[in-house]
Structure 1
Amino acid sequence: MTDAALADRLDRIVLYQVYPQSFADADGDGVGDLDGLAARLDYLAWLGVDAVWLTPVFVSPFRDAGYDVADFDRVAARYGGDAAMDRLIAEADRRGIGIVLDLVAGHTSDEHEWFADALARGPAGDPDGDRYVFSPTAADGFAPVPRGDRGFYKPNFFEFQPALNFGYARLHPDEPWRQTVDAKGPRRNRDALVDIMRRWYDRGVAGFRVDMAASLVEDDPGHRETARLWRDIRRRLDRTHPGRILVSEWGDPARAVPAGFDVDFFLQFGGDSDGLPLKSLFENGSGTVHEAWPRRDAWADAAGKGDAADFVVAWTEARDAIAAAGSRGVVGLPTANHDFTRLVSGSRDAQQARSALLLVLTWAAMPSLYYGDEIGMRYLPGVGPLEGSSLGPTYERAGSRTPMAWGASTVLGQRAHDARYLPADDAPDAPTVAGQLDDPASLLRFVRAAVALRRSDPRLGARASLEVESTGYPFVYRRGGTLLVALNPADRPCEVALGGVGDPVIATGARVMGERLLLDAFGAAVVDLAPRAAAASIPA
């Protein structure tokens, strides 16, 4: 894949997230690995994805499932080591698929050699600049060092994840350990971050998704210094490796994209409304007690009591902020990810989730499919905890990290074992790839058709025009002026006045009657109001 391939297609990219230890297992040890993923690339190419984002695969003690990195330059043995990564990149490149790595920028594992070296330095610190934030006395949010006489250190997430020192936006006389963002230690870490990314780009990686991207500069109102830091990093990377994509976990596209990222996703947190745009759409904990989100009526619930208006307002504000900043970046919209529950959870089944999936794939944003959502894999309550998956008594992430449900060892001619990192969904009606691959009415075929339409029709590009007609039931909007999308996740039928004649391009529980679109309960459709003589070919 050429350096600029993904960046040139930013408007049309469909991203696919893989949790490697749960995706596919080549060596049969029960833990998914990179050779297992390579053996399933034909499936991903068949599905139509452009890039695969891997959660961290670096050397780690795995107390936070790899987000506690002990070596940024080496792939963990459980995934097959560095050679397996080289094979994966080569095989993905042959299929035109980019590999996007997960970069933990704000902290390391407490087993990283940088932390060991910092503790060994003693109270005087490192003359080249401290990589971590230390205080000689107890301070709010700090933890005692496990050994040595450095006093206390600041964690970034779990206590075993010491925060890297990128400085403070504001100094304080009562906290003399605070350093400016341009002090030796912060500059040293910024340089190290750039060097790490360049080394992986040299190996063929197409981009990075940056974990907790807003967490680097401490006490930073409005994230102004953090944004300045990322713009500086982006400029330096573009000078040597233009065309790579940079995706942030910020949860606030209006701030993150102008800060130098190509994409930032609406998430279950972030922004002034703390994740309300995504929660108001899906609130994937609906009907269960396994998620930290407060209960609310979500648009995607069958009861039909929600509204997509909050999402539309936030997306509009983000789009306008990105345009005002002169950025060519885009908003991102995920089906789910490894940190929050899947679309199919609680009382919501796969049929009800079709509207939500079609929304993600037709909205003016970069879509991200979480592995297994294309077949309706379910969140499994009662699974875990494992490797830091639990964030509290009602926030268990393991249920979203269960093994990819292949249903057969050979799929599209490629063979790999199922991963058994976590228990699988063993219910008689559990969805599988094998069970849906040849079924034209399956969710998998529906999603594949939507991906193909997304990639082939410029009216569905992330930067193409979007006009919202209604935000309830149905949720109706037009793309590119003449492509109408109508979504009804509720358990009652409804209809849409088309204002003319049109041809359904994709439909489930929907039919056109003259100038009306009739939607059954859980129906959804994309209708072309300007039929073309040579319509895009949608795979069966």
Structure 2
Amino acid sequence: MKMAERMWWKEAVVYQIYPRSFMDSNGDGIGDLKGILAKLDYLKWLGVDVVWFSPIYESPNNDMGYDISDYRSIMAQFGTMADFDRLLSGLHQREMRLVMDLVVNHTSDEHEWFRQARAAKDNPYRDYYIWRQKPNNWSSFFGGSAWELDEKTNEYYLHLFSAKQPDLNWDNPRVRAEIHDLMRWWLDKGVDGFRMDVIGCISKTPGLPDAPEGGKLAWGGAFFLNGPRVHEYLREMNAEVLSHYDVMTVGETLSVTPKEALEYTGFNRAELNMVFQFELMDIDSGPGGKWDVRDWQVSEFKRICSRWQRELYGRGWNSLYLNNHDQPRMVSRFGQDGKYRVESAKMLATLLHTLQGTPFIYQGEEIGMTNVCFERIEDYRDIETINWYKEQMAQGERPVKEIMRSICAKSRDNARTPMQWSEAAHGGFTTGIPWLRVNPNYRTLNVEQERADADSVLNYYRRLIRFRRENPVVVYGDYTLLEPEDETVYAFTRRLGEVCLLTVLNFTAGEQTFASPSGLLPDNLRLVLCNYAGGETSVGPTLHLRPYEARVYLTAAGSADGV
């Protein structure tokens, strides 16, 4: 197998920063740009290539910055445009790139476009948004109807998320031109790409028909996910803007299959570099959706990962992530955050960094941060969590303890608790009172302690990032799953030319054995990474794996590039 066309965004490792929770420089309890600037040397030491910021634009903060009132201004809580310019320069000086969050399915209801749109039905900005005299039956992702009555004009506007996040009308060419212009504005400042928030929602079915009652379609997803003109709009965006810059693009696309993802990311499509898919993120969601938490099987986990590895290989590009600002902490969800927190965090990291695609690290993941599980709803800040709690309490059908268990497992605030830098008060995140409580385990789980420990999760991440950079087989090699029905061990090979890599992962808290497939592996595989000290250095007929053990073997040819 020859190496695919080399691109910097394929070989990069991305680190996502949620600015509100990363580092506070002025003691107001809110992370800011100067706080990020103070930690750039840490990111360089970690070894990442790209930093992605969740939104930092001017916003009323109804949905923590994903409701934007001015795309060309910095939220005052985060700093100034001068602070941003210094931060961008600091990243580039350290040979790191910056990806911005592009949130253009909707704006804030405080954006000037919407202020004008609701002023009168004949206002030129009215058609920047989606209006109806009578609402259809679509539901919002955040609960309740997706329509809100504007009392002044006596019409309803569409909001797939909060009522303070009206959806833009992408069918209007003036809207698309405005978005292209603001993208150029940021790219001309020197940013290196965009993560595009819910970009798969920008095209709605003409006529906005009612959704069939019952099941998944009750909230109307079939009519606003991967809509009829979404690819037309993205190809136009690429032709008008993206193709004129050397950038990285990743789109957030709900409910896509690998086949549908190739329509966004195919190398011949001229749309996006990669997408975030949610099939794996839905693995523990029952018939009732996100909050209906169910058990999952290792074979199911492998099937989903393998499907995306196989079907995109050579045709499009994968993104790799196990948590982000909208998802629970991966070690609590897919590993074990108690006795085997360190081992399972390293095991999951090994998976993430030896699959094919671009890995995304979410802040705190690299030290094995865990879910927080606040006991009181008053300690949560996430609008989705609070709205769901209120709905459940109003229905009165579930005990409070059961509701809080679901919130503990799935609340977005699990990922948004402040970064744990040290054992100082509030984890060293702020000298003030943090906007969201710090996870109480910060005293024993923090960057300062892990940096000093050679066997920590943090130092293991550094090894993984370096290993990926030094071995093109990890980036460009093909993928073969071994023993798909095994419910304890996830093992796969990656091959590029004469180079073979074998990853073996124990997904359980018990000791397991794995029989290496006879005749399928080269004889000269040697252990190059392990999350335990010691272990078998060569691949024998049977591998004996400790709880959550991860091993990576590589042929003696090592970093040969296969060309």
TM over 0.5: yes
- How has the CA–CA distance of structure 1 residues 464 and 11 changed in structure 2, closer, same or farther, with 3 Å as cutoff? farther
Aligned partner of 2:501 in structure 1 is 483
What is the distance in 2 between the residues matched to 1:74 and 1:438?
Answer: 39
- How has the CA–CA distance of structure 1 residues 292 and 430 changed in structure 2, closer, same or farther, with 3 Å as cutoff? farther
What is the distance in 2 between the residues matched to 1:61 and 1:467?
Answer: 48
Aligned partner of 2:381 in structure 1 is 386
Amino acid at match of 2:229: E
What whole-Å deviation, never above 9, does each CA across 1:121-160 have from its counterpart, x for those lacking one? Answer: x23342x771001123444445344442151111131111
Percent same amino acid among aligned pairs? 27
SS at match of 2:235: helix
Aligned partner of 1:272 in structure 2 is none
Q: CA deviation at 1:482?
A: 1.1
- How has the CA–CA distance of structure 1 residues 316 and 531 changed in structure 2, closer, same or farther, with 3 Å as cutoff? closer
1:334 to 2:300 alignment:
no
What whole-Å deviation, never above 9, does each CA across 1:458-516 have from its counterpart, x for those lacking one? Answer: 1111x322222234332111223411111112122223435524321111236226542
- How has the CA–CA distance of structure 1 residues 290 and 377 changed in structure 2, closer, same or farther, with 3 Å as cutoff? farther
Q: CA deviation at 1:15?
A: 0.8
Aligned partner of 1:524 in structure 2 is 550
Name which of structure 1's ranges 226-235 and 305-314 shifts more when overlaid on structure 2. Answer: 305-314
Report if the CA contact (8 A) 1:475-1:487 is conserved: yes
Match of 1:158 among 155, 162, 166: 162
Amino acid at match of 1:464: G
Match of 1:370 among 357, 362, 384: 362
Aligned partner of 2:215 in structure 1 is none
Q: CA deviation at 1:367?
A: 0.7
- How has the CA–CA distance of structure 1 residues 353 and 298 changed in structure 2, closer, same or farther, with 3 Å as cutoff? farther
Q: CA deviation at 1:262?
A: 0.7
Report if the CA contact (8 A) 1:278-1:311 is conserved: no
Aligned partner of 2:127 in structure 1 is 130
- How has the CA–CA distance of structure 1 residues 123 and 238 changed in structure 2, closer, same or farther, with 3 Å as cutoff? closer
Aligned partner of 2:536 in structure 1 is 512
Aligned partner of 2:77 in structure 1 is 78
1:425 to 2:439 alignment:
yes
1:451 to 2:461 alignment:
no
1:469 to 2:477 alignment:
no
Q: Work out the number of aligned pairs and report it.
A: 479
Higher helix share: 2
1:261 to 2:272 alignment:
yes
Report if the CA contact (8 A) 1:155-1:162 is conserved: yes
- How has the CA–CA distance of structure 1 residues 496 and 81 changed in structure 2, closer, same or farther, with 3 Å as cutoff? farther
Q: CA deviation at 1:19?
A: 0.7
- How has the CA–CA distance of structure 1 residues 34 and 160 changed in structure 2, closer, same or farther, with 3 Å as cutoff? same
Q: Give 1:170-189 correspondences, 5 Å limit.
A: 186-189=172-175
Normalising by structure 1, we get a TM-score of 0.82
- How has the CA–CA distance of structure 1 residues 290 and 307 changed in structure 2, closer, same or farther, with 3 Å as cutoff? closer
- How has the CA–CA distance of structure 1 residues 482 and 354 changed in structure 2, closer, same or farther, with 3 Å as cutoff? same
1:215 to 2:201 alignment:
yes
Q: CA deviation at 1:107?
A: 0.4
1:495 to 2:514 alignment:
yes
- How has the CA–CA distance of structure 1 residues 191 and 368 changed in structure 2, closer, same or farther, with 3 Å as cutoff? same
What is the distance in 2 between the residues matched to 1:108 and 1:404?
Answer: 28
Match of 1:202 among 183, 188, 193: 188
Report if the CA contact (8 A) 2:15-2:362 is conserved: yes
Name which of structure 1's ranges 377-386 and 67-76 shifts more when overlaid on structure 2. Answer: 377-386
- How has the CA–CA distance of structure 1 residues 42 and 513 changed in structure 2, closer, same or farther, with 3 Å as cutoff? closer
SS at match of 1:356: helix
What is the distance in 1 between the residues matched to 2:329 and 2:423?
Answer: 23
- How has the CA–CA distance of structure 1 residues 496 and 513 changed in structure 2, closer, same or farther, with 3 Å as cutoff? farther
Report if the CA contact (8 A) 1:502-1:531 is conserved: no
Name which of structure 1's ranges 137-146 and 485-494 shifts more when overlaid on structure 2. Answer: 137-146
Report if the CA contact (8 A) 1:374-1:444 is conserved: yes
Amino acid at match of 2:320: L
Amino acid at match of 2:189: R
What is the distance in 2 between the residues matched to 1:136 and 1:210?
Answer: 30
Q: CA deviation at 1:364?
A: 0.3
> Which runs of 5 or more structure 1 residues have no equivalent in the other structure?
1-6, 168-185, 268-274, 300-304, 324-328
Report if the CA contact (8 A) 1:404-1:418 is conserved: no
- How has the CA–CA distance of structure 1 residues 297 and 418 changed in structure 2, closer, same or farther, with 3 Å as cutoff? farther
- How has the CA–CA distance of structure 1 residues 514 and 148 changed in structure 2, closer, same or farther, with 3 Å as cutoff? closer
Normalising by structure 2, we get a TM-score of 0.79
What is the distance in 2 between the residues matched to 1:513 and 1:140?
Answer: 60
Q: CA deviation at 1:380?
A: 0.7
What is the distance in 1 between the residues matched to 2:64 and 2:73?
Answer: 16
> Which runs of 5 or more structure 2 residues have no equivalent in the other structure?
1-5, 139-145, 206-222, 390-405
1:441 to 2:455 alignment:
yes
Amino acid at match of 2:527: P
